[in-house]
Amino acid sequence: MSQATWWSRMMLGVCLGSAAMTATAGCGDELSPSSDASVGAKPAGRPVDPRLQLQGLAQEAVKRSARLGAIKLQAQASSYDLDEVRGAAMPQVSINGSIGPANTVYKNQADSKGTQISGGVNVTGMLYDGGRLSSLTKWREELLKSAQANTQSTRDQVAMEAIGTAVERNRYKVQANVFHQQARKMSCLVEVLEQIVAEDKGRSSELVQARKTQAQAELSRDSALAMSRQLELRLRKMVGDQVPPTDGLGIPLGETMDRGEVLRLMGHHPDLMQLRTQADAAEQLAASVSAKSKPQLNWMASGSGSSRGETKSVSVQAGVSVSWSIYSGGADQAAAMAASKRAESARQQYEEFARTLNSRVSEVFDAASSAQERAKKYVEVLKDSDRVRTSTFQQWSQLGRRSLFDVMSAESDHFNLRIAYVNALHDAYQANAQLRALGGGLSGWLGLPD
């Protein structure tokens, strides 16, 4: 074995050998497969409940969301609309009055002049309207429930957006860490090969290959860091400059809900509740339109009085008023049919969305289970990969049966597997968050205030 060959293998042992040797060389080393999951572990120092981290993140995003604020105002408007309809069912009281000069001319008599004061009060109430006001009240009640469900749905969407962004930010932060470790290893390798090539020009192709691999790792690291910064900016837009810590988000998001449990809770999904209440509201509106063609009975009482000079008068009336639209040219029937068709359309939309949501649950559950299974398998593959790269290095350094290209290829394969492992983990986190959202919503799970 030549001196250059011996020197190259000796120095590469420093770069690619045991953890102790790499630490001494300053090329030190990498996370184990399990440590790539540090994104899902509790942060060092004072323990923080990971679920509280998610809650703080989602709560801050909800508090700052202008979109949610606008939806809340719409829900408040629906509440006042309901009060308006309820008020219409109560007795209605009105008063009137006037004051001013008056002049009455009588034929063959003296004119009557003076200041006239008059006033009156009217009270009316509903006796029978065929259920119209009752249906209108229920219509407004269902619209209020729909608005409240829309508020909850928007709250869940805002929370999901914040959590999803935090997961993606952590994905690229961990990827950047892995690529950085690969770049450090290749940097160490380049330094050694530069010394070797100075004595053995025939090894220059190995140096070129090492530099290329180092550059690729650095480009991948910079790309991951850039994505992490962009997601950080997006997260700051949602929650402000003080981003709550999310180091342990993998712990609460690492558990996949049972599919049957998700389907059971799906009935409380805010989007489904919104469509259901809209369908119920449409049916009540159709009933109120149909009631317009029935007799309308109201009671009324009124009193009025006037005074002009010495002349005073008082009038009191009471009775029942009846109105009934006998013929409207088919307009009432057409309006009732139109309202009925809209109600039927709303009910079919609800049923279609329920089927879509059921299918979506199955898809997301499969994605979550598959991602978690991939992550588990990657752990075993990474163990084998670590043995392969160790064996490759030994065969090259001790027996000369492998080339340096084989060594670098084994290293690259190992780091690529680590990236795949990180992606599988974060794919599982995203899918599990979506499952929580589908199973009744994130607000209830995180305990977000209304």
Tell which residue, 421, 422, 446, 427, has the closest CA to residue 436. Answer: 446
Residue 274: per-residue pLDDT: 92
**In this structure, what DSSP letter does residue 232 have?**
H
Q: How far is CA 199 from the centre of its chain?
A: 61
Tell which residue, 222, 207, 224, has the closest CA to residue 408. Answer: 207
Give the contacts of 7 (CB within 8 A, at least 6 positions apart).
195, 196, 199
Going along the chain from its start, the domains and CATH numbers come out as 3-102+112-446 (1.20.1600.10)
- From CA 441, how far away is CA 151, in angstroms rounded? 12
Residue 40: per-residue pLDDT: 40
Residues facing 118 on adjacent strands = 98, 306
| Number of residues that this document lists for the chain | 450
Residue 48: per-residue pLDDT: 66
Contact call for residues 212 and 257 (beta carbons, < 8 A): no
Contact call for residues 280 and 137 (beta carbons, < 8 A): no
Residue 206: per-residue pLDDT: 81
pTM (2 d.p.)? 0.80
What is the enclosing helix (H) or strand (E) of 150? helix 132-199
Q: How far is CA 144 from the centre of its chain?
A: 22
Write the DSSP assignment of 285-308 as a string of letters.
HHHHHHHTTS-EEEEEEEEEEEEE
pLDDT tens sequence for the chain (450 residues) = 444 454 455 455 545 543 323 332 333 344 333 344 444 444 445 556 778 888 889 999 999 999 999 999 999 999 999 999 999 888 988 998 888 776 666 566 555 666 778 888 999 988 888 888 999 999 999 999 999 999 999 999 999 999 999 999 999 999 999 999 999 988 888 888 888 788 878 778 888 888 998 999 999 999 999 999 999 999 999 998 888 777 777 788 988 999 999 999 888 899 999 999 999 999 998 888 888 888 888 899 888 888 776 677 888 888 898 888 887 788 878 888 888 898 899 899 999 999 999 999 999 999 999 999 999 999 999 999 989 988 887 887 676 677 778 888 888 899 999 999 999 999 999 999 999 999 888 888 888 887
**In this structure, what DSSP letter does residue 40 have?**
G
Residue 29: per-residue pLDDT: 43
Regarding beta strands 296-308 and 311-323, do their DSSP bridges make them parallel or antiparallel, or are they unpaired? antiparallel
**In this structure, what DSSP letter does residue 89 have?**
T
- From CA 304, how far away is CA 401, in angstroms rounded? 116
Give the contacts of 408 (CB within 8 A, at least 6 positions apart).
186, 189, 209, 210, 213
In the chain the first and final C-alpha atoms are separated, in Å, by 76
Tell which residue, 161, 162, 57, 39, has the closest CA to residue 425. Answer: 39
Contact call for residues 16 and 185 (beta carbons, < 8 A): yes
Residue 13: per-residue pLDDT: 55
Neighbours of 139 (CB within 10 A): 22
Residue 205: per-residue pLDDT: 84
Residue 228: per-residue pLDDT: 93
Largest CA distance in the chain: 148
Residue 4: per-residue pLDDT: 46
